[in-house]
C-alpha cells in the first residue's frame, strides 16, 4: 500500500430510542447522583449492565439490535420487541418445571390400572 492513500470511512447512524424509556445520559446521571437509583448497574436503569442485572442475556440484546438494524433517521422501537427477543432466548435455554402446590387426590373408577400417562 505504499504510495496509495487509504481514505477514512464515515458511517452515520441515528439514535436508538425505546418507547417509554429515558435513554438520555444527562437525565440518567441525575438519577444516579440524586440517589434515586443505586448505581449505573441498578436493574431499573436502561443501561447494558442494568439489563444484565435484570436477567437480559447478551444474546437477547444482540438479537434485538440485529433486528432493529442501523438507520439514518431517528425512530422509536417498542420495548415489546426487546422483551420478545429475551423470551425467545430464554425459551431455548431455560429449563421448565411444574409443581402442584395443593395436590388433590382423584380416584378414577373406569380407567385401566396398568395404564400410566404423564404430562
Domain boundaries, the chain: 7-119
Question: pLDDT value at position 40?
Answer: 97
CA dihedral 39, 42, 47, 53 (to 10 degrees): 140
DSSP for residue 17: E
Q: What is the pLDDT along the chain (119 residues), one digit of tens a residue?
A: 577 888 899 989 999 999 999 999 999 999 999 999 999 999 999 999 999 999 999 999 999 999 999 999 988 999 999 999 999 999 999 998 999 999 998 888 898 888 888 87
Among 51, 52, 78, 81, residue whose Cα is nearest residue 64 = 81
Class of domain 7-119: mainly alpha
CA end-to-end distance (rounded Å), the chain: 67
Tell me the whole-structure pTM to 2 decimals. 0.72
Q: Is the dihedral of CA 18, 19, 24, 25 positive or negative?
A: negative
Amino acid at each position: 500500500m505504499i504510495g496509495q492513500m487509504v481514505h477514512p470511512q464515515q458511517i452515520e447512524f441515528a439514535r436508538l430510542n425505546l418507547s417509554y424509556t429515558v435513554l438520555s445520559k444527562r437525565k440518567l446521571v441525575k438519577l444516579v447522583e440524586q440517589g434515586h437509583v443505586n448505581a449505573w448497574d441498578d436493574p431499573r436503569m436502561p443501561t447494558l449492565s442494568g439489563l444484565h442485572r435484570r436477567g437480559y442475556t447478551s444474546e437477547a440484546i444482540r438479537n434485538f439490535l440485529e433486528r432493529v438494524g442501523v438507520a439514518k433517521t431517528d425512530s422509536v422501537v417498542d420495548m415489546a420487541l426487546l422483551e420478545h427477543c429475551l423470551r425467545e432466548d430464554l425459551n431455548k435455554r431455560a429449563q421448565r418445571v411444574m409443581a402442584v402446590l395443593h395436590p388433590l387426590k382423584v380416584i378414577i373408577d373406569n380407567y385401566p390400572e396398568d395404564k400410566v400417562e404423564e404430562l
